[in-house]
Structure formats: structure tokens, C-alpha cells
Structure 1
Amino acid sequence: MKPPCSLARSSLLRIPTTPQPCLIRQCPTLRPSPLPSASLLRSRLCLQQSRRTFLKPSTGPSYRAVENLNVDRIRAESQNYYVRRRNFLLLGAALSFTAALGSGYMLVLELTKPKKFDSGGAVPDPFSTEAGSKRKTVVHDAQGREIVPTGNSTVPTFPRHLELSTGGGHTAKEQLDGGVEYTLVGLGVRTVSFLGIQVYMVGYYIATPDIAAIQSRLVKEINPIATTLVANEKEELRQALLDPQRGEALWSAVLADVQPRSVFRIVPVRDTDFHHLRDGFVRAIQARSSQGEHRADYADDAFGVGMRDFRALFNRGRVPKRKEMLLCRDAAGRLTITYDDGEHGNAVVGTVDEERISRLLWLNYLAGSKVASEPARTSIVDGIMEFVERPVGTVATQVL
């Protein structure tokens, strides 16, 4: 039998609605007093159940979850949670994609950035008027030939000199031998689209015996009585060559007056074909022949025939990467295209006698507001600066 106090306590837990005098008489510690309300007892019970002890953690009342259960509210909270979660995931995915795209774009810009052709230190040049000028890095391959690094992994080097036998020599010996040495002036990579996709490496070569005439013409353009240019005059010439209008006029005068023999060496860095190269060349020629006040100079039938002959030269197949194509311009302005497929040697593809075709094609790399390869144009201008800082006539014997 339970003690009277226990009975009274259990009776209180059952929340009696009327006083029980028998229990009060059996338990003298109880005093007749008004019984607490049901809500007050319930709050006391919750307080006792939630009281934390050393060995028992506090636990909340279990009946509250049942009393506060609201299916609509729970559904709304669950939906809001998953909506917020989805939005955060979409935001994270968008930021990750943007970061990856930006990193890839910066990587492409870094890989396609034109490389400086120097050895990293200032090498004194006995022919230079400036102290501490830098020369292009020239190394030797296994056969002992001089080569110039390009900064491209697919086409790592370009030869410093080319020996061509396409004819058109100025002297009787050159016309008899048919072999002319060409010296590299500058090179760069041709890219397309905003992603900077590399297409081919291009290098500009000038016949070594014709460099002195180009030196003289460019020096006289800045200082008519000078044989070399000093620092401020070199900077003036550089700005003139980089200016779209003045640079195009200056190079047009050089090609018309000096008539230097020159070559553009093109080596693809990815597999392409003749039709793709032809489309780029034709678009550049047509764009330059249809703009400006001189477009009437290219409206005659002879120019149209020259364009037709030029297109016909490229009715061929594939051009694998690392294969060499040469665009050669002789003293008369005749264009000769050669191609080395790696099996039959450097063979002539064909010629175009119309001088304006080769002139516009050359200007597409050398001058204007938009050139085929800005790194190549900048490198060519740097090479020209190395020419004009030396006395006229010394480059042919001490090239670069």
C-alpha cells in the first residue's frame, strides 16, 4: 500500500477536479488550500521533465510536437527550404562556371601572348646607339643551323635564314645561281575568334642584300640627313609604323620604291587545308581593295583576273600541322607560293603576276587598323627598329 503522501502526489499528477478529504486527513503535511489550475500544473510538469541533471540531459516535452503540429506550415517550411537550397546550388554552379571560363580565358591569353626574343639579360650591341639593347635569342640546332625560338610548343623554332631559289635576283650572279638568302625580321601567331584559337605561325623574311635599301628608306623618312636613328627618332618611326594610316602609306612606299624581295613563312599549328587558308587570304585582300579612297584602283579587269588566278592556286587538299608554306614576293611584285609536304620537298604551287595581289596580301600582315597577326606585326616592327639603329649597309654583313 502506497504511503499517503505518495497517494496525494499521484493524485496531484492526475490533476483532480475536487478535493479529497480522506487523503488530506491521512497526510497531515498537506494544508487545505486552493488547488492549482491545470495549466499551471502542466507547466510545472514540463519544467521538471526539462530539468537537466548530471547524468540525464534535458529533454523537451513530447506532447508539444503533437499540440503544435501544423501540416500546412510544415509543408510551406519544407518547400521554402528546398527552394533556398536550389537557389544556392544554382548560384554556386553559375559562379563555378564563370570562374572556370575566366580562368580558361586568362590561360589562353597567357599561352598566346607574344614572347620576347631575348635571352633575359641586356647584351651590349657594338652596332647599337643605345646602351644595353637586347638582341634576339639565336640558338643552333643539331645540324648547326641558326634558329629562333617562337614560344609555341607545336612550332617551337623558325630558321634564322632561308635559302631560296625562286629566281628574281637583282644581280647577275643571283639571276644565274637563283639562290638568295633571306633573313628573319619578326614572327608571331595567327589567331581567330575571341577565344584566340591559334591557326599558324608566320614569319617575315627579307632578302639580306635588300636590307640596306629598306634601312635607308625608313631612316630618310624620319631624318633625311641621317644614316642611323637615335632613341627619340626610333620611337617616332615605331609610332609611324604602328599607326594605321601612316604605317600603311609607309609600307606601300617601301614595297613600291625599294621593291625588296621578301617571304612570309607560314607553318600551321593545327591541321587545316588550302581552302581554309585561301578564304582568309581572299577576305583580307578584298577588304583592303574595297575600302578607302583608292578602291577605284582595284576595279579593273586585270585585278579581277589576278584574284581568279590566286584562288585557283589553293584548289588542293589538306595542310597538316608543322608543314611549311612560303609566300614569296620578288622585285617585280610577282607572287610565288611554295609548299613542303614533307615527302617531295619544297615544290612550287603556282604564281600570280598581278603585283597588287601580293602588295595587299603583304599589307595584311604589315600595316593597317586590323592585321592578320598583331604579335607578328609588333615583332616585325621590333626587327625594323634593330635595323635602323645601325649604320646603313652594315646589317647585310652583321645581321641581327
Structure 2
Amino acid sequence: MFAARLLSRRLRRPVQTTLHRARALTLPQPAPRRPPPFHRSPPPNRDELHATKRRQTLLTIGAVTSMITLYALATQSPQQSLDSHPHPPIQPGAPVILATDEEKRAGVELVPSGTTSVPSFPKHLKIGDKGYTLVGLGIRTVSFLAIQVYVVGFYVSTSDLPTLSAHLLQHAAPSGATSTTVSERDSLRTLLLSPEHSERIFTTLLQNSHVSTALRIVPTRNTDFSHLRDGWVRSITARAKRGGVYEDPGWAAALDEFKRLFGGRGSVPKKKTLLLVRDGEGRLTCWYDPEGRGDGKLGSKTVRLGDIGDYRVGLALWLGYLAGEKVASVPARKSIAEGLVELVGRPVGSVV
């Protein structure tokens, strides 16, 4: 009995499968879904076309204006000031400006800094028991946009000007003259601006002449001691890689001492004053004037940051402004060269 039922079920399975397949074939199949027809937006009307053209024109004008502005900033001479009338390079004995009645009464002689971001520089400094005379100054800029960073002025001890003049005369007029002709001054200018000859002239001057000099630095924008220090360290390190007097185990310690001198001292607001003084023996002394005095004197708030005894630190730092292929400020270098050329144009001992 059980076997008969099992046999009947097995016989019914093929028939049921065949019926299911036939039923599936006879049922209506859903139509395949077609993609929606492509929708074309109506063509823009005349007003929309005009508006689109105006936007494109304005964008083009803006892009061209920006490119012209960037090009003008990149090609503008760093010596030009923000004023409409930039000042010529500064020379010893050049006309000076007595800005205020108080300064006129005090007899303070001022020289234009070359930018409205920094006040005029005093023609004379009084540091300790020494007086210094401005030889030249210029603006330091960075990047192809010529962004102004600070103005640097190069001063020479007034009592050492005759020694400096005699040293330069050895290169301008080797025959032993006490003044120079026009052609000799032109020749000296070429030497002072030559990467190779300027390196030799200023290295000998700073190492052997015992002339006291100073750099007066006034930022055109807010900065800090670390930022200024890092720029100087890069310049000093690049020069030290050339070897020579810097190939000494004590050089690394001297450079570290210079780094520590400016480390952790905070900000330097614009128009404030840093003074780096290098005496005749090469000792470097650094001062900071938080008042930004413009009368050439050290105020009561002026801070002595410290001293560096190793002469090579000041030597490398000074050469970064005065000599070689690349200098920290091209305008300052040209102005200093003009001032030195003017110096040797007068009889030795006549410049004060």
C-alpha cells in the first residue's frame, strides 16, 4: 500500500513541473523598462545670454587685473618707498630732514628710511661713549612680491671714518693719494658691488682695520626675535660652509651662543629698533630699544641683549649685508657703496 502511494507521487512530479513551466510561458511577461527620453532644456533667451557674457567679461577683467598687480609688485624696485617720491641712495653729508620742532631744537639730523612704514633714520648714533655716522641704508624684502621686512642702516664710528677712508683708498687709488678722481671713484664702486672683489675688500676691512661699525634694524611689520634670528643664522651658516676661518671646533659653539642670545625673547613690533654693534676687535653687542627712539640715543628702556666674543659671528653677519653674490638687501648694499665712494672723494680726515 505504502509503495503504491510513493510510486504515484513520483509519477505526478514530472507532470506538475511541466504544468508550472507551461503556465509561466502563457502568463503575460512585464515589458522591459526603457530609459526616459533625453530632456533638452530650452535655449537661453537674449537676457540670459547677455548676463552670462557680462559675468565672463568681469571674471576675465578680474583675472587680468590680478596678474598685472602681481607683476607690478614683483618688478617694483625694493628701493622705492610707499611714497610717490622715493628717495635717492643716502650718502654721508647728504641733505637731511629735521622733522619736528622738538628735533630741530635738539639738532637731530634725520635721513628718510625709504618707506612710510618706518620713521626716518638718525644720521648720527650715540652708543656708549662712541658716536656713529650713517653711511647707507636700504629695505630688506623677501619673495618675488618684494614684501618689505625691515630697514637696515650701516653706521661707522665717526672717529674711525679716516681709517675707513684710508683703507678704501688702497683699492681706489693705490698710488697713495689722499683723495680720488671721478674715474677712481667709479672703479671703487664697481669693486664694492662685485661679488668677488667685495668679499675680499670687506673681509680685510672687518678683520684688520679695527673699525667699529653698527647695524640699525627697524622692522616694517610686527615680527619676533626668533624670526629675525633664523634669517641671520641662515645667512651666517651659508657663508660658514665656504670654510676658511670657520673650520674650527669652536665655531659651532659660537653660533649656538648667537642663537641663544635671541631665543625666547618674544615679539619685535614694527618701528622698534635693534642695534647690532661690532667693535674694532670683532666683539658683537646687541641692543633692543622697545621705544623705537629716533634721536640716535639709547633710552632708559633700551635692553642690552648680550655679547658674542667670537669675531667670526659678526664677520659672517656683516658680510651678509656687504659682500658676495647674494646680500640681505640689495638697496642697502648699493646705498652703502655710494656712501663709501662719497667718503673717499674727500681728503682723509675731512669727513665727520
Query: Structure 1-normalised TM-score?
Result: 0.68
The equivalent residue for 1:376 is 332
Equivalent in the alignment of 1:97 = 63
Residues 1-12 of structure 1: pairs in structure 2 closer than 5 A: none
Q: How does 1:316-395 map to 2 (within 5 A)?
A: 316-342=265-291, 344-395=300-351
Q: Report the Cα distance in structure 1 between the residues aligned to 2:227 and 2:92, rounded to whole angstroms.
A: 37
| 2:87 aligned with 1:116 | yes
Percent of counterpart pairs with the same letter?
38
Query: Where do 1:105-144 residues align within 5 Å?
Result: 105-106=71-72, 109=76, 113=80, 115-117=86-88, 136-141=94-99, 142-143=102-103, 144=107
Deviations 1:299-322 (A, max 9, x none): 322111100100000111111111
- 1:93 is displaced (CA, Å) by 1.5
Q: What CA deviation, in whole Å up to 9, does each residue of 1:141-174 have, x standing for no partner?
A: 4233111111211213000100111xxxxxxxxx
Contact 1:306 1:352 in 2 (8 A): yes
CA distance in 1, matches of 2:349, 2:155: 17
Asked if 1:187 is matched to 2:117, the reply is no
Instruction: Please give the alpha-carbon distance, in whole angstroms, between the structure 1 residues aligned to 2:340 and 2:226.
Output: 32
Distance 1:380 1:118 in 2: 8
Structure 1 unmatched ranges of 5 or more: 1-71, 120-132, 166-178
Secondary structure at the counterpart of residue 152 of structure 2: strand
Structure number with bigger Rg: 1
Alpha-carbon deviation of 1:87? 7.6
Deviation at 1:85, TM superposition (A): 7.7
Give the deviation of 1:289 after TM superposition: 0.9
Q: 2:122 — aligned with what?
A: 159
Distance 1:112 1:366 in 2: 16
CA gap 1:210/1:317 in 2 versus in 1, 3 angstroms: same
* Partner SS, residue 262 of structure 2: coil
Q: Secondary structure at the match of 1:313?
A: helix
Q: Does 1:274 align with 2:274?
A: no
Q: CA deviation at 1:113?
A: 1.8
Q: Distance in 1 between matches of 2:93 and 2:206?
A: 26
Q: How many residue pairs align between the two structures? A: 295
AA aligned opposite 1:384: L
Partners of 1:218 and 1:244 lie apart in 2 by 17
Aligned to 2:14: none
For the pair 1:313 / 2:261, whether they are aligned, the reply is yes
Match of 1:150 among 97, 109, 113: 113
- Contact 2:257 2:308 (8 Å CA) reproduced: yes
One-letter code of the match for 2:319? L
Contact 1:162 1:183 in 2 (8 A): yes
Structure 2: distance between partners of 1:328 and 1:197:
26
Q: Measured at CA, do residues 100 and 385 of structure 1 come closer, stay the same or move farther in structure 2, by a change above 3 Å? A: same
Distance 1:367 1:101, change over 3 A: same
Q: Quick one: distance in 2 between partners of 1:116 and 1:297?
A: 39
Provide the residue aligned with 2:200 in structure 1: 249
Tell me if structure 2 keeps the 8 A contact 1:137–1:149. Answer: no
| 1:267-306 mapped onto 2 (5 Å cutoff) | 267-291=218-242, 295-306=243-254
Conservation of the 8 A alpha-carbon contact between 2:119 and 2:271: no
Query: Which gives a bigger RCO, structure 1 or 2 (Cα 8 Å, sep 6+)?
Result: 2
Q: Whole-Å Cα distance in 2 between the matches of residues 296 and 381 of structure 1?
A: 26
Question: Matched residues in 1 for 2:77 and 2:309: separation?
Answer: 41
**Paired AA for residue 337 in structure 2:** V
Deviation (angstroms), 1:345: 2.2
Provide the rounded CA distance (Å) in 2 between the counterparts of 1:327 and 1:301. 25
**Partners in 1 of 2:330 and 2:256 — Cα distance?**
28
Q: Secondary structure at the match of 1:136?
A: coil
Given residue 87 of structure 2, which amino acid in structure 1 is its aligned partner? K
- Contact residue 79 and residue 331 of structure 2 kept, 8 A: no
Residues 24-71 of structure 1 deviation map (CA, whole Å, 9 limit, x = unaligned): xxxxxxxxxxxxxxxxxxxxxxxxxxxxxxxxxxxxxxxxxxxxxxxx
Write the distance in 2 (CA, Å) between the matches of 1:75 and 1:348: 76
Q: In 2, distance between residues paired with 1:304 and 1:222?
A: 37
Query: C-alpha deviations, 1:259-306, integer Å up to 9, x for none?
Result: 210000011111110000000000000011113xxx153232211110
- 1:96 maps to a residue whose letter is G
8 Å CA contact retained: 1:118, 1:135:
no
Matched residue type, 1:375: P
In the alignment, the residues of structure 2 paired with residue 110 and residue 382 of structure 1 have an alpha-carbon distance, to the nearest angstrom, of 17
TM-score normalised over the length of structure 2: 0.76
Deviations 1:364-395, CA, capped at 9 Å, x for gaps = 00111111111111110111111011011111
Task: Check conservation: 1:338, 1:349, Cα contact below 8 A.
Answer: yes
